[in-house]
Amino acid sequence: MRKPLFITGFAALALALAACSSATTSPPTAAPPAASSAPAASAGPAGGATSAKIIDFGFTPATLTVKPGTTVTWTNTGSASHTVTADDGSFASGTLAGGATFSQTFAKAGTYAYHCSIHHSMVATVVVQP
């Protein structure tokens, strides 16, 4: 007696599933480390360049560590105007409209706190280490 086609197809499917479930699999790979909740970044060799962003109403990264001679370029990625103004008055960008950039070269080691003079709650720091 001839078996109906749907039974044969079902049997083939069951065999295929059984073969898949008994196959060996490679061990899972480790997940990449989770991102830090406090953004920080480092620059490469002295005299290099690195970037920072003004996103909405904050500077990213909030702490940027660079080598002496590094030029940092901030980009205002939002639509609100902002400034990049050193707390000690050593540099100031003036008003940066959305899409505008400002660059500052940090020649000497030290900690440079800065803020947005329009939105005083926006603060960040550049740390220059040899």
Q: What is the pLDDT along the chain (130 residues), one digit of tens a residue?
A: 554 444 444 444 343 434 443 333 333 333 333 333 334 454 445 669 999 999 999 999 999 999 999 999 999 999 999 999 999 999 999 999 999 999 999 999 999 999 999 999 999 999 999 9
pTM: 0.66
Output the DSSP codes for 74-111.
EEE-SSS-B--EETTSS-B---B-TT-EEEEEE-S-EE
Map out the domains of the chain with their CATH numbers. Answer: 40-128 (2.60.40.420)
